[in-house]
Structure 1
Amino acid sequence: MAKIKHNNLLDTVISVMTNAKESGVLHLYAEGEKFDGRQIQIKGKKLFHFGTTGYLGLEQDYRLKQGAINAINSYGSQFPLSKSYISQPLYAELESLLYDIYGSPVVITKNSTLGHLGVIPSIVDDSDGVILDHQVHWSVQSAVNPLKLRSVPVEMIRHNNLEMLEDKIRKLQSKCKKIWYMADGMYSMYGDYAPIKELMQLSEKYPQLHIYFDDVHGMSWKGNNGSGYVMSVLKKLPDRMILFGTLGKTFGAGGAVMVCNDKKIHQRIKIFGGPLTFSVQLEPATVGAAIASAKIHLSEEIYEMQDDLYDRISYFNQCLQKTNLPLIINNNSPIFYIGAGMPETGFNLVNRLIEAGFYVNLGMFPAVPVKNTGLRITISRHNQKQEIKALVEALEYHFPKALAETHTNLDRVNFAFGRGNNKMTTSTQSRSNLTLETYNSIKHIDPKLWNETVGGNSFYDWKGLKDLEGVFKNNSSPENNYQFYYYVVKNDKQECILATFFSYGLWKEDMLAPESVSVKLEKMREGEPYYHTSYCLSMGSMITEGEHLYLCQDKSDWKEAFNLLLEQLEILEKKLKPQYVILRDFNTADKAIKAFLHNKGFVQVAMPEAAVYDQFNWNDEASYIETLSKSSRKHFRKDIEAFRDKFEIQVLDELSNIELEKSFELYQQVKKNNLGLNTFSYPLSLFKHMNLSPQWEYILLYLKEEKMLQVGVMFCYKNSNNIYTPAIIGMDYEFSREYNVYRQLLFQTILRANELGNKRIDFGLTAGFEKHKVGAKVLEKCAYIQTKDNFALEALDWLRKD
């Protein structure tokens, strides 16, 4: 069977960021002929600058500027030669000064990204293993990626989760010579830190453990000689540690620096460091500025600057403590993160602050989970206390207004970040006379209403869902128990604007991942059945397919109806605490839904293709063939008609016990061989229940040459809205390819639906090519998801790269 066509994560990221750009908060241009660090001009407007990563303001220091000017005057705008041949005259002085700052040997790199790309593949041997904090900087993750081609095991842990880290160390210690844990010293979004002391304890416990720190955001504003946050805790660099600092950002110049005490590693990188060897070296102006900065770092003045910055950080903290603003991490770093929750709230708030005269950065996906959008505010020595206070006052004024305009409230923001209740109690305002009705069983909903809306598709009409509720409860296996929730939104005329249902249950996290990922995970699940599984709150259910949402988009208040649904889902989230919320089976071409859900904190992901057949304008097999394209007719005669006489076809309303057991066994074969859509197997109780329902019937294929051996079955649901749904398939894989069993089942399904006078066949997901060949229309489908964090998505992405 054909596999899923998977979307590229990059496409999703670009889509989200394009939305931010169109909202006026991303890819902006600074203007003006002069820049002082305190203010920045955007679109003709002077703004107080709270978005810099030059926390000490050294980039505006006259000594660094003069150092750059002198270097240009002496050596030109660049020194166009690889450092492997000749380093420009200023390099030796800079290396000596950096050695004095750290008290350890250093290697200067063009920037931290190139530095990681040069260092990591060189220091990690094929016999080593790597463990990544899932929030470690993208540049580190990118540099680790090529190691997968060398079969180096790469694992990922949840952010700062030491218990998970130790578990991974134990897993790798028997097969790896060295185990490299890679993390940031200080993280760039929330301004939180790595648990360095605890990591040192783990390093003592496990001699194989080596630690690789990217501390570019901790540089200069912290530590002896401005050596950074990591060094402020350690005081002296351990032998089994590699540290990266930056000569840009707070240091005020450009480039980066690797620090390590291991002479062998130091010389290895110094002599040949991949892109470090072949890339052009730092420009004389950059080195001249860096030398001037290093001299400041080695003077007492650096501590005066650090104290000056800390005074501003403390003042900002004091101002924030008097408010109810949702500060996500409380610490003494120059990075502050004010939660906004939904992207549209973040867009609104950034634009409001720009109007009020302040520039702040927007934290957004993929740097943070999409529903953890927020304001990333940075404090520098450029910022004066009066504008710090003014910024807090502007935030206090505009934050509740941004919440109201985007139809959310502080409780929802706090919930998105896993925080408790706050004193601010802004409530969501309804803009219409819509009413949302909630039910925990289809039994409480009018069958006519349901079947005229959601139930007009596939086999989740009123009767079908009533049956599913009975099957998926009180089962011994957790994956076979589901809770169902139903929602109907009506206007004041009692017209249905929206209707849908959700289920809560255990899913495999790789359900929509590439088959290669599922193959690896299934091997791991042989010893740990629920590895990489999570509870999900999903529109529809694991067994249902098709359009699970009835939404009148021709009504002006459809967005408000959708808002009511999302608010109700968040209430349910608080109770159930799912890892994922999934809205599924949407048309990928629906740009209005896409924009709406992106703004509400959902990320679009591709789903398998769906297929429908509705061309019942023929009376017999010959006229059916004429409806096919020329290539499909050729396919039909070669792969279907040529084998038709090999089979005996039976259509049964009910299966005997022997037939049911055989059909279930054939279904399990399909399940085992089709990991492109990896789900838990349906329980036998479902098939027994189906066998008692008059809505189900069965198309069975028997192979005449094998003594009437059953080799195929299609489990078909007869929807009350005259739709035929071949919902589940079973095949004998010993004969399926030789006799084209799957294609024969598709054709027999079309014949049967026509015989019954159905208006449509919902063929469901996957195998779009095969279904197209028998005349079905293939539909591109997508889902929209929210996650508590990005860990599972990133961990599965690493498995995909393996």
Structure 2
Amino acid sequence: MAKIKPNNFLDIVDEVFTDATRQGVLHLYADGETLSGRTIGIDGKSLFHFGTTGYLGLEQDERLKQAAVDAILRYGTQFPLSKTYVSHPLYQTLEEKITQMYGNPVIITKNSTLGHIGVIPSVVSDQDAIVLDHQVHWSVQNAAKPLKTRSVPIEMIRHNNLNMLEDKIKTLSSKHKKIWYMADGLYSMYGDAAPVKALMELSNKYPQLHLYFDDVHGMSWAGKHGTGYVMQELGELPEHVLVFGTLSKTFGASGAVMTCSNKKLHSKIKTFGGPLTFSAQLEPASVAAAIASADIHLSDEIYMFQKELRNRVNYFNTLLKTTDLPLVEENESPVFYIGTGMPITGYNFVNRLLKEGFFVNLGLFPAVPVKNTGVRITISRHNRTEEIKALTEAMVYHYPKALEATHTTKDKVFAAFNLKNKVSESSKSNDVQGLSVQLEHSISKIDAATWDSLFGSRGVFDYHGLRFLERTFTNKASETHNWQFYYLIISDQMNKPVLATYFTYALWKEDMLAPESVSRAIEDKRKEDPNYMCSYVLSMGSLFTEGDHLYIDQSHPMWLKAMQLMLNQVDTLDKSLNPSMIVFRDFKKDEVLNEFFHNHGYFKVTMPESAQISKLKWEDTQSYVEKLTAKSRRHFRKDIQPFEACFEVEVKLQISNQESEVFYQLFQQVSANNLGLNMFDYPKELLNEMSLHPHWEFIILHLKAEYTNEKKSIPVGVMFCYSNSGSTYVPAFIGMDYEYLQSYQVYRQLLFQTIKRAGALEKSSVDFGLTAAFEKKKLGAEVIEKVAYMQAKDNFSLELMEMMGGTK
């Protein structure tokens, strides 16, 4: 069967960033003749700057600027020579001063990204293992990932979860020499920090544990000589700890610095460290500016600067405490994050602040989960108290207006970040005037005629199909086969449906749409832990059905309000069920729906293509084949027609218990060989329920005795088909004997026999469903691109699968 197209993480990010750019909050250009640090020019307007990472404002210090100018005049704009051969004349001075700051040997790198690429492969041996905090900076994850080619295992833990880290250590310790835990010292979105002291206690308990910190956002504003948050917590640098700092951002110059107290390890990295060897070195201006900054860091002046910044941070914290703004993390860092929940709310809020004269950043996926979008505010020494106060007042005024304009509430935002709302809004109604909601837990509570008028021709979810699914997947002992159903109809004042759909709450494999390579790796882990990377999902449709699960009358003037009302109902279910993920699925590409779902905190993923034959008019095989393309006709005459005589084809409405057992085993073979769409097996009793249901039937291929190893006729393929209340025939899933699959073209024969059967029943369409679209297209099916929209509680599973070698 054809492989499934994997979802590309970069495509998802590109779409998110493109939308943010379109909304005017990303990929902007600063303007103006000069920059002061206090203000920034955007679109001809001067804004107070609350988005810098130069927290101490040293990038505007006259001493650094003058040093850079002098260096250019003396040495030129660059020193075009690898440091492996010769370092710039100022480099030795810089290294000596940074070494003095840290009290340990250092290595200067062009930037932290190249630094990680050079250092991590050098310090991690083939006998080691890596554990990543899932929020560690992308540059660390990117540098670690290539080590998988050296068979270095790379694991991931949830953010700052030391219990999970300890479990990983216990698992890895017997097979690996060192276990490297990699984390940020200070995380750049929420401003929260790594539990450095607790990690040191854990490393004392497990000597194999080594720590690797990226502390570029903790640099300068904290620590002795401004060496950063991690060094402030450590005091002295142990041999099993490596720390990355920065010479840019708060330091005011350019470049990055790595320090370790293990002199042998330092020498190994410096001797040969990938881009440390082959990349260009820092420009003379950057080196000179860094020397000037190092002089400040080595003087008592740095502590005066740190105090001035701390006073501003404390002042902002004091002001925020008087508000009910959702501050995600309260701490003493210069990074603040005000949650907005949905991207559309974030866009609205940021644009309101821009108009008021304040520049702030928007925290977006993948730096945060889509539903955890928010405004990232940074405080620097450039900011004055009156500006900080004015910003707070502007946020207090505009925040509720941004919520109202984007149809959300503080309750929803606080719930998204697991914060306690000071002023509950739970009493507020989610109703929309002019629309009514019917939400039921069983299809029996829905009018059958109404439902079938909307979904009667849409797959296995007409009224009778859903009664069948409820009998099969409710009140079951098995966790994987016990689902909850929710049916939603939103109608206008004339009781005309504007929107209808159904949802299921069920246990999913989180790698369901991941590449096969990722699913195979995860299935290996499930041999020991069957529930590994399995979680409950609230999904439109079900794991059994495929097709257009959403009825929406886009000609109705209130259809967008109906969509909003649907999301309100989903929010209510989310609160009561607490799924790990919400999924809206099986959509054709639609720019309006795409913008709607993205703005409301959902990211788009590509689903496997589906295939459908519409306007089927069957007369006989010859007339059908003649309507195919020339290439498809050749395919039919080569790979299908010659093998038809090898089979006895039987259509049965009911099957025996023995047949049920055989057919289930054939289905399991397909499931085991199709990890591209990785799902739990359906229960055995499913086939018995089908046999009792008048809308289900079985197309069975018996390979004739002369072609089998057993010298008797045996079933080698079965298509499980549903004839819905409308005009559609649905081959829902398939079972095949892989011993005969290729030699007798079993799969292709089943597809063709399905079309013949649909024609005999005078059905006008065949809904072939997902996967193997290329094979179905050869038989005249139209290939339809499908997408889904997902919202996860966090990015952990997505990032873990990305690190395992696939895409998110």
Task: Please give the range of the TM-score, normalised by the shorter of the 2 chains.
Answer: over 0.9
Q: 1:743 maps to which residue?
A: 748
Q: TM-score, normalised by structure 2?
A: 0.98
User: CA 1:386/1:440 → structure 2, altered by over 3 Å: closer, same or farther?
Assistant: same
Separation in structure 2 between the aligned mates of residue 381 and residue 95 of structure 1, nearest angstrom: 27
Please give the residue correspondences for 1:350-365 in structure 2 after superposition, counting only pairs within 5 Å: 350-365=350-365
Structure 2: which amino acid aligns with 1:509?
E
Q: 1:614 maps to which residue?
A: 614
Separation in structure 2 between the aligned mates of residue 372 and residue 138 of structure 1, nearest angstrom: 18
- DSSP 3-state at the match of 2:804: helix
Deviates more, 1:775-784 or 1:554-563: 554-563
- DSSP 3-state at the match of 2:276: helix
Structure 1: which amino acid aligns with 2:139?
S
Separation in structure 1 between the aligned mates of residue 522 and residue 283 of structure 2, nearest angstrom: 48
Q: Does 1:798 align with 2:799?
A: no
Separation in structure 1 between the aligned mates of residue 114 and residue 166 of structure 2, nearest angstrom: 30
Q: How far 1:172 sits from its partner (Å)?
A: 1.1
User: Which of 773, 784, 798 is 2:789 aligned to?
Assistant: 784
Q: 2:448 maps to which residue?
A: 447
Q: Does 1:27 align with 2:27?
A: yes
Q: 1:128 maps to which residue?
A: 128
Does the 8 Å CA contact 2:618/2:760 hold for their aligned counterparts? no
Separation in structure 2 between the aligned mates of residue 698 and residue 677 of structure 1, nearest angstrom: 23
Separation in structure 1 between the aligned mates of residue 222 and residue 557 of structure 2, nearest angstrom: 55
Q: How big is each residue's C-alpha offset from its partner over 1:758-781, in whole Å with a ceiling of 9 and x where there is no partner?
A: 111111110101111111111110
Separation in structure 1 between the aligned mates of residue 504 and residue 324 of structure 2, nearest angstrom: 35
Separation in structure 1 between the aligned mates of residue 461 and residue 160 of structure 2, nearest angstrom: 43
Does the 8 Å CA contact 1:148/1:801 hold for their aligned counterparts? no
Separation in structure 2 between the aligned mates of residue 520 and residue 270 of structure 1, nearest angstrom: 36
Separation in structure 2 between the aligned mates of residue 531 and residue 741 of structure 1, nearest angstrom: 34
Separation in structure 1 between the aligned mates of residue 502 and residue 420 of structure 2, nearest angstrom: 28
Q: How far 1:545 sits from its partner (Å)?
A: 0.7
- DSSP 3-state at the match of 1:28: coil
Q: Does 1:593 align with 2:593?
A: yes
Separation in structure 2 between the aligned mates of residue 306 and residue 219 of structure 1, nearest angstrom: 11
Q: 2:772 maps to which residue?
A: 767
Please give the residue correspondences for 1:102-113 in structure 2 after superposition, counting only pairs within 5 Å: 102-113=102-113
Separation in structure 1 between the aligned mates of residue 64 and residue 667 of structure 2, nearest angstrom: 71
Structure 2 unpaired stretches of 5+: none
Q: How far 1:108 sits from its partner (Å)?
A: 0.4
Please give the residue correspondences for 1:428-577 in structure 2 after superposition, counting only pairs within 5 Å: 432-577=433-578
Separation in structure 2 between the aligned mates of residue 799 and residue 638 of structure 1, nearest angstrom: 40
User: CA 1:430/1:20 → structure 2, altered by over 3 Å: closer, same or farther?
Assistant: farther
Deviates more, 1:475-484 or 1:656-665: 656-665
Q: 1:179 maps to which residue?
A: 179
Q: Does 1:713 align with 2:718?
A: yes
Deviates more, 1:378-387 or 1:472-481: 472-481
Q: How far 1:453 sits from its partner (Å)?
A: 1.1
Q: 2:249 maps to which residue?
A: 249
Q: How far 1:798 sits from its partner (Å)?
A: 1.4
Q: How big is each residue's C-alpha offset from its partner over 1:235-277, in whole Å with a ceiling of 9 and x where there is no partner?
A: 1111101100000000000100000011122111212111111
- DSSP 3-state at the match of 1:315: helix
Does the 8 Å CA contact 1:31/1:40 hold for their aligned counterparts? yes
Deviates more, 1:471-480 or 1:302-311: 471-480
Does the 8 Å CA contact 2:515/2:806 hold for their aligned counterparts? no
Does the 8 Å CA contact 1:432/1:560 hold for their aligned counterparts? no
Q: How far 1:193 sits from its partner (Å)?
A: 0.3
Structure 2: which amino acid aligns with 1:58?
L
Q: TM-score, normalised by structure 1?
A: 0.99
Separation in structure 2 between the aligned mates of residue 257 and residue 563 of structure 1, nearest angstrom: 49
Q: How far 1:801 sits from its partner (Å)?
A: 4.9
Deviates more, 1:615-624 or 1:30-39: 615-624
Q: 1:626 maps to which residue?
A: 626
Q: Does 1:372 align with 2:372?
A: yes
User: CA 1:348/1:522 → structure 2, altered by over 3 Å: closer, same or farther?
Assistant: same
Please give the residue correspondences for 1:62-77 in structure 2 after superposition, counting only pairs within 5 Å: 62-77=62-77
Separation in structure 2 between the aligned mates of residue 526 and residue 242 of structure 1, nearest angstrom: 36
Separation in structure 2 between the aligned mates of residue 314 and residue 421 of structure 1, nearest angstrom: 22
Does the 8 Å CA contact 1:703/1:710 hold for their aligned counterparts? yes
Q: How far 1:111 sits from its partner (Å)?
A: 0.6
Q: How far 1:556 sits from its partner (Å)?
A: 2.8
How many residues were matched structurally? 801
Structure 1 unpaired stretches of 5+: none
Deviates more, 1:370-379 or 1:455-464: 455-464
Q: 2:233 maps to which residue?
A: 233
Separation in structure 2 between the aligned mates of residue 695 and residue 17 of structure 1, nearest angstrom: 47
Q: Does 1:3 align with 2:3?
A: yes
Separation in structure 2 between the aligned mates of residue 56 and residue 22 of structure 1, nearest angstrom: 32
Q: 1:16 maps to which residue?
A: 16
Does the 8 Å CA contact 1:432/1:557 hold for their aligned counterparts? no
Q: 1:726 maps to which residue?
A: 731
Separation in structure 1 between the aligned mates of residue 728 and residue 806 of structure 2, nearest angstrom: 41
- DSSP 3-state at the match of 2:155: strand
Separation in structure 2 between the aligned mates of residue 748 and residue 422 of structure 1, nearest angstrom: 64
Does the 8 Å CA contact 2:617/2:762 hold for their aligned counterparts? no
Q: How big is each residue's C-alpha offset from its partner over 1:110-161, in whole Å with a ceiling of 9 and x where there is no partner?
A: 1101101111111111111111000000111111111111111100110000
Structure 1 stretches of at least 4 aligned residues deviating more than 3 Å after TM superposition: 424-432
- DSSP 3-state at the match of 2:414: helix
Q: How far 1:617 sits from its partner (Å)?
A: 3.0
Does the 8 Å CA contact 1:454/1:499 hold for their aligned counterparts? no
Q: How far 1:800 sits from its partner (Å)?
A: 2.4
Does the 8 Å CA contact 2:452/2:462 hold for their aligned counterparts? yes
Please give the residue correspondences for 1:328-367 in structure 2 after superposition, counting only pairs within 5 Å: 328-367=328-367
- DSSP 3-state at the match of 1:46: strand
Separation in structure 1 between the aligned mates of residue 178 and residue 344 of structure 2, nearest angstrom: 45
Please give the residue correspondences for 1:134-149 in structure 2 after superposition, counting only pairs within 5 Å: 134-149=134-149
Separation in structure 2 between the aligned mates of residue 130 and residue 424 of structure 1, nearest angstrom: 43
Separation in structure 2 between the aligned mates of residue 801 and residue 465 of structure 1, nearest angstrom: 35
- DSSP 3-state at the match of 1:27: coil
Does the 8 Å CA contact 1:632/1:773 hold for their aligned counterparts? yes
Q: How big is each residue's C-alpha offset from its partner over 1:438-457, in whole Å with a ceiling of 9 and x where there is no partner?
A: 11111111111111113430
Separation in structure 2 between the aligned mates of residue 191 and residue 356 of structure 1, nearest angstrom: 25
Does the 8 Å CA contact 1:50/1:378 hold for their aligned counterparts? yes
Q: 2:680 maps to which residue?
A: 680
- DSSP 3-state at the match of 1:456: coil
Q: How big is each residue's C-alpha offset from its partner over 1:609-651, in whole Å with a ceiling of 9 and x where there is no partner?
A: 1111124234111101101111111111111110111000011
Q: How big is each residue's C-alpha offset from its partner over 1:307-346, in whole Å with a ceiling of 9 and x where there is no partner?
A: 1000000000000000000000010100000000000000
Q: How big is each residue's C-alpha offset from its partner over 1:491-535, in whole Å with a ceiling of 9 and x where there is no partner?
A: 112111100000001000110001111111112111211111010
Separation in structure 1 between the aligned mates of residue 175 and residue 752 of structure 2, nearest angstrom: 52
Structure 2: which amino acid aligns with 1:68?
A
Structure 2: which amino acid aligns with 1:413?
V
Does the 8 Å CA contact 2:617/2:764 hold for their aligned counterparts? no
Separation in structure 1 between the aligned mates of residue 406 and residue 222 of structure 2, nearest angstrom: 39
Q: How big is each residue's C-alpha offset from its partner over 1:24-78, in whole Å with a ceiling of 9 and x where there is no partner?
A: 0000011101111111110011100000000001111111111112212221211
Separation in structure 2 between the aligned mates of residue 254 and residue 440 of structure 1, nearest angstrom: 60
Separation in structure 2 between the aligned mates of residue 543 and residue 413 of structure 1, nearest angstrom: 33
Separation in structure 1 between the aligned mates of residue 559 and residue 634 of structure 2, nearest angstrom: 46
Separation in structure 1 between the aligned mates of residue 136 and residue 791 of structure 2, nearest angstrom: 21
Structure 1: which amino acid aligns with 2:767?
D
Q: How big is each residue's C-alpha offset from its partner over 1:684-716, in whole Å with a ceiling of 9 and x where there is no partner?
A: 121111111111111111011231101111111
Q: How far 1:377 sits from its partner (Å)?
A: 0.2
Does the 8 Å CA contact 1:145/1:801 hold for their aligned counterparts? no
